[in-house]
Structure formats: C-alpha cells, structure tokens
Amino acid sequence: MKSPVLALAAALAVAGLAVPAVTSPTATAAQPAAQAAAPARSVKITDGCVRSVPEPGTRAKVKICYTLFKPARAHRRHRVPMLMHSHGWGGSRATAAGIDQVRGYLDAGYGVLSFDQRGFGESGGKAYVENPAYEGRDVRRLVRRIATLRWVQKDGRRDPRLGAVGGSYGGGYQFVGAFEQLRTRGKSVFDALAPEITWHDLSESLAPEGVVRTEWAAVLGAGALPSDALPPSVYQALVEGVATGQWPDGSIPGTQDLTTFFRRNGPKWHVQQGRRLDIPVLLGQGTTDTLFNLQQGLATWRTALTRKARRHSIFVGYNGGHVLPAVLPAGVDVTSDPCSRKLGGGDFQRLSIRFFDEQLRGRKRTLKGYGRVHLATPTGGCVTTRSVAPNRAYHVGTVATPTVAGAPVATEIAKGPLTVAGSPYLTGKVTALGLDSRAFYGLAVGTSPLDARLVQNNVLPLREPTTVQGVARRVALPSVGVQVPAGQSLYLLATPISDTFVGMGSRVPGLITIDDTQVHLPVVRR
C-alpha cells in the first residue's frame, strides 16, 4: 500500500500544484532563499537544544534546537531584553550563516534566540501545527532556558523581559506560547509580540465554508515532505482534501478529521476558552495574502486582545504575504508597505524595533497609530480606521452566477471617490437548484465591469450543500483597504471558479442567484 507521504506527493504531481511564493516587504515574514551573510564579530553565537514533551505513545523527550545570539554589550551588569524568533512552515532557524534574518534586532541591542520548531531543522518529533500540548510546551521550555541567562533583563524569577518575532508559522508559535503561559501561569511571560501573516483559525484559513484552498492545502503537505514532519494521518487527510474538494472533518466513515486536528491550533480556540492577551501586539497581515488573509488578522485583533491591550497595540496591513497569481478572476500584482513607512519610517522590521524599544525598554512613546488599524491600498496609500465594521449598505439588486464554468460577473456597488477599509459582507435571498452549489465573491475596482479587477486578490465562497430557494443568507466578503478614485467604481465580483480554489467549484452545472442583494461596506469618511 502506498504511504500517505507518497500519496500526497503523487496528488501534488497529478494536480500540477507547485509551492507558491511568500512575498513580503519585510525581512521577518519569509524564510530567505539563501543564508550567506557572515556573522558579526561583535555577536556571540552558540547552539543548543532543550528537551521537551515526548511524542504520543513514547517516553523519550524530543529535542528542540536553537541558536542564541548575544550582543557584544550584553552581560550581567548590562542586561538586555530578549527576542524569540522562528521560521515559516518548512523552514529552519537563523544560524551563524543566516544572521541577516535577525541582524536588525541585534544591531538594535536585543538578544535573540532563534529555534527550529518541532518536526523541522534539527529539532525532533512531528509537527502538530502549533498545538498547545506540543509546540506550546516547546515554547514554554525555551522561555525557561532564556530565564537562566544572566545577561537577559528580568522582571522577576523565571520572567525574562521578552518579545517575539516571525512570520506565518513563525507567528503561530508566538500566539500558542503566549496563550499557553496565560493558561498555566495566569499571565503571559511575553511582554510584547510582533507576529506577521499568521492565522486566527486554521480550518477557516485552509477551507472557508468547507471549500478547500487547493494549492495551500497541498503546500502544507509539500512543505512537510522533506523532513516528513506531519503525522501520517494528516498527509492522508490532505490527499483527501485536494482530491475531493471536501474538507476532511470525519463526517464520512473511513475518512480523516482535520477539523479536530486543527481545533486548538490558533487564537480562536483560546478565545473560546475565555482567554485574552493583555500585552501589546504589533500585528502585521498581508492584504494580498490568499492563505491567512486580512480577515484572519482582524479577527485576532478584535477578539484575542483585551480592549486595554489594543490601546497599546498597532495593526498594519501590507501588500504581500502568502501570494498566488490572481489570474481568474484578475487581481493585482503589488508588494508594498506604505503603512509601516508612514508609522515608523521604514519597513515592518524597522517599525517592530521602534515598537519593542517603547514596549520592552520603556523609551518615550513617539510612534503614532496605537489602537488603530492601518491598511495598505493597492495603489500605495495607507488608510487608517478605528473600526473595521460595515457602516453603510448599498442595494445592488439581483446577482446571478453560473456554476462550474463562466466568466466573472461584475455588478456596480458605488462610484468613486470612495474609501473602504475593513470587513464587508453581502446579504440577500439565495436560490440554488443544484447539489453542492458553489460560487466565489469579492470586491473589484475598474472603470467598467469589463476591466474591474479584484481589490487585493481575494474571493470567499458561498456554498449551498442542498437545493435552496429564496433563503436569506449573509456572505462574508474579503477584508480590504481601497481608495476608489473618481472616474472608477467599486464592483461586487461573482465568479464560478477561482485559481485560489482551483478545482473547488460546483460539480453540477446550474445557477446561483442572490435576490435583494445588499453589500455592507466599512466606509471611511474623510
């Protein structure tokens, strides 16, 4: 019988799925393709491993390996704050050869501990994708190691002055670590976080409405193949998801259950347990990210931080992240970070250093933008808002979309000039006479329906498993930041197919009709 690993590799080859790019205007969001810089002489670099929780059914503790960067001026009479750092999915830690990943923080005088997450690099075990019982305990163990360093500033016994950086999977460890400490100690030992392009809910990210983001589900498995990082059942589940277009939730006898596997693996679960982080967070999210899209970051901002914490936190959306070519329907090709430049005078890493200087070192607060959401627009602008909730509704009538095949349908919402920043949605009465009907919706801008392009490359699905007629529905639209100029219009774009959800459209030809459609927009009044 073919192994789950080989089955996934075969499924990827048959589907013609390649690993898409992670693009970011920052240095911390993506793993560099090469690590060639020589270490600075002023930085002392040491490698080590800690022993953490064993794999299920075993007794041997799993090694979690790290590289420790000690700035030249750090010693027990001149203690410095520490930053933790880790890699994206399928990557590995910063080492002496990869010092450029963390050089900016070292140059600013911070100590850095970069580590290989469970299942990757030199660390052992399997990856449970930031499960509190495994990766959460790994982070706790590393924090205890940091607390033993005499040159690290302390706030108390076993309580180092501590921040954290990293993007994607390197953002996930920050939340599982902070929430796990909150659960076990009643407070987070982390004093500030700066996660980028990471998730709120993994199942919702990989399969909104149960419709699989095909390439990204495949990439999750493909990134784990070199080190065989995932448990065998997860490879099998990903094969099922890619092959069938159904998110494996265990509802069909004999199939896998990814919903249960991922249930505890993100801020959403901790929030459901009544936990909120009461620490400052500089949260960066990709507006053109088609995996952990803007909605994911905004959900974390809105629900996972206390109101007090948000007053001392900043949300930055930049054009970048986990990016796929937006061909059908047509989107934009842009990488930029105007909001970090506006707030901090540079890229996101520069902004994070200033943020940590204020939050970890207590330097005079000079950064602006605390307590607000700042979103990059596709044209290089930066829109700031306190609320991302819709505040205006536009009636657009009937929107009819063919299923299985057909060109995108653009329906005008409003003429420019118009500024929208936040999380829109549509309401209406849905009729779908086929079984498992699917269509995808997003916002677009253009001079006419013929040249309208997706604002920031994202669409979200409407799925009707059974036939419905005139049933009231609320359908989430992708969160956006956009300034529609005079002479152009904002459109609701509906499409039967999407290259992000390749092969995930309806199986049966038909039509999805939404009557009495209203589009609810978060309009920023200027």
Provide the CATH number for the domain around residue 477. Answer: 2.60.120
Helices 137-147 and 169-185 sit at what angle, rounded to 10 degrees? 80
Q: Are residues 290 and 219 in the same domain?
A: no
34-48, 264-278, 380-394, 436-450: segment of lowest average pLDDT: 34-48
Choose among 491, 501, 483, 408: nearest CA to 444: 491
Alpha-carbon gap, residue 520 to 117, rounded angstroms:
41
180-189, 215-224, 416-425, 450-459: segment of lowest average pLDDT: 215-224
Q: Are residues 259 and 282 in the same domain?
A: no
Q: Are residues 280 and 355 in the same domain?
A: yes
pLDDT at 2: 46
Q: Are 141 and 114 in contact (CB under 8 A)?
A: no
Alpha-carbon gap, residue 175 to 299, rounded angstroms:
13
Give the CB-side neighbour count of residue 157, counting CA atoms within 13 A.
1
| Residue 261: domain span | 1-18+202-265
pLDDT at 40: 55
Choose among 155, 207, 27, 149: nearest CA to 100: 27
3-class DSSP state for residue 132?
Answer: helix
Alpha-carbon gap, residue 15 to 504, rounded angstroms:
12
The pLDDT confidence band at residue 87, using thresholds 50, 70 and 90, is: very high
Which of 237, 265, 293 is the last residue in one of the domains?
Answer: 265
Q: Are residues 256 and 304 in the same domain?
A: no
The pLDDT confidence band at residue 13, using thresholds 50, 70 and 90, is: very low
Instruction: Give the tens place of pLDDT for each residue, 153-170.
Output: 999 988 999 999 999 999
Q: Are residues 258 and 332 in the same domain?
A: no
Q: What angle do CA 165, 169, 175 make, to 5 degrees?
A: 60
- 444, two tokens: 């677009």
Choose among 254, 274, 218: nearest CA to 504: 218
Check residues 508 and 339 and name the one with the higher pLDDT: 339
Q: Are residues 242 and 142 in the same domain?
A: no
In a domain, residue 25? The reply is: no
Average pLDDT over residues 449-455: 95
The pLDDT confidence band at residue 25, using thresholds 50, 70 and 90, is: low
Which of 369, 386, 403 is the last residue in one of the domains?
Answer: 386
Q: Are 411 and 514 in contact (CB under 8 A)?
A: no
pTM attached to this predicted model: 0.93
Q: Is the pLDDT of residue 173 over 70?
A: yes
In a domain, residue 197? The reply is: no
Per residue in 105-130, is it b (16+ CB within 10 Å) or e — as a string? bbebbbbbbbbbbbbbbbbbbbbbbb
Write the CA distances from 227 to 90, 116, 140, 230, integer angstroms: 8, 12, 24, 9
Choose among 313, 339, 302, 322: nearest CA to 168: 322
Instruction: Give the tens place of pLDDT for each residue, 274-300.
Output: 999 999 999 999 999 999 999 999 999
Q: Are residues 41 and 186 in the same domain?
A: yes
Q: Are residues 171 and 208 in the same domain?
A: no
Q: How many domains does the chain have?
A: 4
Average pLDDT over residues 200-214: 94
Q: Are residues 356 and 437 in the same domain?
A: no
Q: Are 435 and 466 in contact (CB under 8 A)?
A: yes
In a domain, residue 131? The reply is: yes
In a domain, residue 232? The reply is: yes
Backbone angles phi and psi of 91, in degrees to 5: -100, -160
Alpha-carbon gap, residue 304 to 310, rounded angstroms:
10
Which of 386, 410, 443 is the last residue in one of the domains?
Answer: 386
Q: Give me the chain's average pLDDT, please.
A: 91
The pLDDT confidence band at residue 24, using thresholds 50, 70 and 90, is: low
pLDDT at 16: 42
Q: Are residues 382 and 396 in the same domain?
A: no
124-133, 235-244, 447-456: segment of lowest average pLDDT: 235-244
In a domain, residue 285? The reply is: yes
Instruction: Give the tens place of pLDDT for each residue, 356-403.
Output: 999 999 999 999 999 999 999 999 999 999 999 999 999 999 999 998
Backbone angles phi and psi of 6, in degrees to 5: -65, -35
Alpha-carbon gap, residue 337 to 196, rounded angstroms:
13
The pLDDT confidence band at residue 250, using thresholds 50, 70 and 90, is: confident
In a domain, residue 362? The reply is: yes
36-40, 357-361, 434-438, 463-467: segment of lowest average pLDDT: 36-40
Burial of 511 (0-12, 13-18, 19+ CB in 10 A): middle
CA torsion through residues 223, 181, 269, 191, sign: negative
In the sheet that holds 392-402, the strands lie side by side as 392-402, 511-521, 425-432, 468-476
Q: Is the pLDDT of residue 251 over 90?
A: no
For residue 242, the tally of other CB atoms under 10 A from its CB is 23
Express as a percent the part of the chain with pLDDT over 90: 76
Q: Are residues 37 and 163 in the same domain?
A: yes
Give the CB-side neighbour count of residue 113, counting CA atoms within 13 A.
27
In a domain, residue 151? The reply is: yes
Chain centre distance of CA 235: 21
The pLDDT confidence band at residue 21, using thresholds 50, 70 and 90, is: low
In a domain, residue 195? The reply is: no
Alpha-carbon gap, residue 421 to 383, rounded angstroms:
7
Alpha-carbon gap, residue 125 to 310, rounded angstroms:
36
Q: Are residues 338 and 404 in the same domain?
A: no
Q: Is the pLDDT of residue 27 over 80?
A: no
